[in-house]
Amino acid sequence: MLYIVATPIGNLKDITLRAIETLRQADFIIAENPTHTAKLLRHYDIPKKELVQFADHNEQKVLPKLLEKLAASHGALVSDAGTPGVSDPGFRLVRACVEKNIQIQSIPGASAVIAALAASGLPTDKFLFVGFLPKTEPKLLQALEEARATQSTLIVYESPQRISKTLQSIAKAYPSARVVVARELTKLHEEFIRGTATEVATALQKRVSIKGEIVLLVSFK
């Protein structure tokens, strides 16, 4: 049995009672970063568990053994923050479990994508999440055009080092597009910056530095 357990994206109070119960009862925990997850378990007074790392660098090596363990016992999959499988290698474990007919249960909870969309003020009826945008401008604009053509709100993760450059590219192609930068969601310095692509790009250019985790949203309607 594989449990997919969502963990907080910032504020440690944002975890469900069911998630805590599942982590307590699991025979072992599959983590992107075991050190980070160990701190999380200590915070919630969850007894020590066997922690198995499943990340980009070792997934092929550990996957066969993980499938054997999951066929005979209960494991909980967690990411560093939020819902596992969203822009992290966890989805490949889930897919392998489906192929092996290993039972799967999803324990829902925090998601940066949904948290940002809900408070953005942009249309929520149709959205397109693409993880991280391509680094080259032509491919970036292709993703934007796909969202514009389908009248979807585009949602992406972006690094603080790249956000200004990304916004400049968006502003050059679609200056009047509606943009929201959601920064440090659920944390002490949570911030939403809203406006046209040109306005938001200009506002961020004036900042000496930009820090924290960022969700970027773009709407064409």
67-103: pLDDT as tens digits: 999 999 999 999 999 999 888 889 999 999 999 999 9
37-51: pLDDT as tens digits: 999 999 999 999 999
C-beta separation of 213 from 162 below 8 A: no
Domains recognised in the chain with CATH numbers? 2-107 (3.40.1010.10), 112-219 (3.30.950.10)
0.75 cut: is pTM over it? yes
- Angle between helical axes of 90-99 and 59-72 (0-180°, round to 10): 50
